[in-house]
């Protein structure tokens, strides 16, 4: 059984629509290189689409009703969107969930030091990366420094054309005889991922003059003391902008497709819902997926459940039983990227169960590793109903596993939401070079994801 390449069925008008969708996404990606930046953009987009802050609604004690739209911002790093439907919430919601954190390198809390006339920042990487991919390339700094008085200083250095960039050095090939025979996991070690920040001594300083020069810049330009780094979150990310990839412009090269491509597709589908939906539609943009969905902004925290409880109370559906029914009766697409089939690494896949670029949005019944360990195994009954919604709305889709059996594996937020007893399946866009500083997607898959998510929100119904 082979699935269709979506491009082969597009007419001229659709191709133009695909290209327009891709440009909108590229703009989002270029303004969202961290979870904080993505969360801020999501809130901005939601407000423009008529969403109100749930915290304000609670404070004002106002009731909510069908057609109302509210958002919840969790610690500036995760976002929930709710568009209240005609049916009681206890009949379950249609939920999209993606994550907005991506693999990166974080500055440590005591980061700065000088060695041999160079000032560095010490780092700790975040998520699964091939460390050797992050050296000898332009990197930028993004984040916040929070001072003792609570003021938050935003930092973005290396994005503007006139900005300087930073980076991590690699050893010259001429002296790499020993490095070249090392295992790839040891070629660049975690503690060696230190970012070069400065190389000019501050005149008149005897001890660590380059470091002193760096600290003077931080003080003069940002009003920061070295000690302020104790309460900072500075992320080191690729400085390149996302852009069209391939001579036919069919693809997009960029940092953070995992999982901002699905996050953006969810936003598009949720914010552009026409009219009042039958069932309440929700979108979850979670943080910390790349390190196990931990912490107060990760999917394991119960802010979604709490926000839903607040909304149900404001809708006059108070009580624990109603909340449990709403959660257990919900339908969810866990929207996360899938491993795209790469002909150059064919042996990593079993081809007829691999996600192929251009063949549409991808559904993964299983993720996990070895004997499906750690997987969410979507129910066949749910997939049957989902197939009908996809076919009824002419969505190009494919099904896939995450690579060849026993080769590796991975997880998403699907298994966490499934704990409520809701129906959940993984659904996303196929990516090449996943977790590399520059990842690749096909524009047709992004377009079909937006279509799929919209059709799901509007048309998915409860199990019998």
Residues that bind Mn ion (CB under 5 A): 258-259, 336
What is the number of alpha carbons within 13 Å of residue 297 lying toward its C-beta?
A: 20
Nearer to Mn ion, 375 or 458 (CB): 375
Nearer to Mn ion, 68 or 258 (CB): 258
Q: Please, which residues have CB within 8 angstroms of residue 262's CB and are 6 or more apart in sequence? A: 98, 335, 336, 337, 427, 428, 429, 449
Nearer to Mn ion, 34 or 458 (CB): 34
Q: How far is the CB of 113 from Mn ion (least distance, A)?
A: 31
What is the per-residue DSSP string for 380-393? HHHHHHHHHHHHHT
Nearer to Mn ion, 259 or 317 (CB): 259
| Signed CA dihedral, 256, 242, 167, 170: sign only | positive
The residue nearest Mn ion at its CB is 259
Q: How far is the CB of 288 from Mn ion (least distance, A)?
A: 11
Q: How far is the CB of 295 from Mn ion (least distance, A)?
A: 16
Q: How far is the CB of 103 from Mn ion (least distance, A)?
A: 7
What is the per-residue DSSP string for 296-310? TTBTTSSHHHHHHHH
Nearer to Mn ion, 438 or 458 (CB): 438
200 near 215, Cβ under 8 Å? no
299 near 43, Cβ under 8 Å? no
End-to-end CA distance of the chain: 29
Nearer to Mn ion, 28 or 112 (CB): 28
Q: How far is the CB of 101 from Mn ion (least distance, A)?
A: 9
Q: How far is the CB of 389 from Mn ion (least distance, A)?
A: 23
260 near 173, Cβ under 8 Å? no
Tokens of residue 383, six digits: 């997939």
Rg of the chain taking only CA atoms, in angstroms: 23
């Amino acid at each position: 059984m082979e699935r269709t390449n979506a491009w082969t069925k597009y007419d001229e008008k659709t191709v133009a629509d695909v290209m327009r969708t891709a440009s909108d996404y590229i703009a989002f990606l270029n303004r969202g290189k961290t979870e904080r930046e993505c969360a801020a953009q999501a809130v901005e987009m939601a407000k423009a689409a008529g969403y109100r802050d749930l915290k304000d609604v609670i404070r004002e004690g106002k009731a909510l009703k069908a057609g109302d739209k509210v958002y919840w911002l969790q610690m500036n790093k995760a976002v929930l969107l709710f568009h209240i439907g005609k049916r009681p919430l206890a009949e379950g919601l249609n939920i999209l969930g993606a994550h907005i954190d991506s693999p990166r390198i974080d500055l440590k809390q005591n980061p700065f030091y000088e060695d041999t006339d160079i000032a560095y920042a010490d780092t700790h990487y975040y998520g699964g990366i091939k460390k050797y991919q992050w050296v000898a390339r332009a990197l930028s700094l993004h984040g916040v420094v929070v001072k003792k008085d609570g003021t938050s200083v935003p930092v973005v250095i290396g994005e503007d054309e006139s900005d300087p960039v930073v980076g991590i050095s690699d050893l010259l090939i001429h002296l790499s005889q020993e490095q070249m025979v090392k295992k790839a996991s040891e070629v660049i070690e975690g503690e060696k991922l230190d970012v070069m920040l400065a190389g000019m001594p501050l005149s008149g300083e005897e001890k660590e003059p380059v470091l002193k020069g760096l600290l003077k810049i931080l003080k003069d330009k940002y009003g920061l003391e070295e000690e302020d780094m104790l309460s900072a979150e500075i992320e080191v990310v690729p400085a390149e902008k996302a852009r069209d990839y391939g001579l036919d412009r069919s693809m997009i090269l960029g940092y953070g497709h995992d999982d901002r491509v699905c996050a953006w597709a969810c936003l598009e589908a949720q914010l552009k819902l026409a009219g009042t939906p039958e069932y309440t539609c929700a979108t979850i943009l979670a943080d910390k997926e790349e390190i196990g969905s931990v912490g107060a902004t990760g999917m394991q925290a119960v802010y979604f459940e709490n926000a839903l409880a607040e909304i149900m109370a404001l809708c006059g559906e108070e009580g624990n039983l109603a909340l449990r029914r709403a959660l257990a009766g919900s339908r969810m697409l866990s929207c996360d990227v899938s491993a795209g089939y790469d002909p150059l690494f064919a042996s990593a896949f079993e081809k007829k169960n691999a996600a192929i670029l251009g063949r549409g949005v991808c559904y993964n019944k299983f993720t996990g590793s070895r004997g499906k360990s750690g997987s969410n195994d979507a129910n066949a009954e749910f997939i049957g109903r989902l197939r009908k919604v996809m076919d009824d709305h002419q969505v190009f889709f494919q099904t896939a596993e995450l690579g060849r059996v026993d080769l590796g594996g991975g997880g998403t937020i699907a298994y966490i939401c499934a704990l409520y007893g809701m129906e959940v399946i993984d659904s996303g866009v196929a990516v090449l070079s996943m977790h590399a500083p520059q990842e690749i997607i096909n524009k047709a898959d992004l377009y079909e994801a937006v279509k799929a998510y919209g059709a799901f929100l509007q048309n998915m119904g409860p199990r019998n």
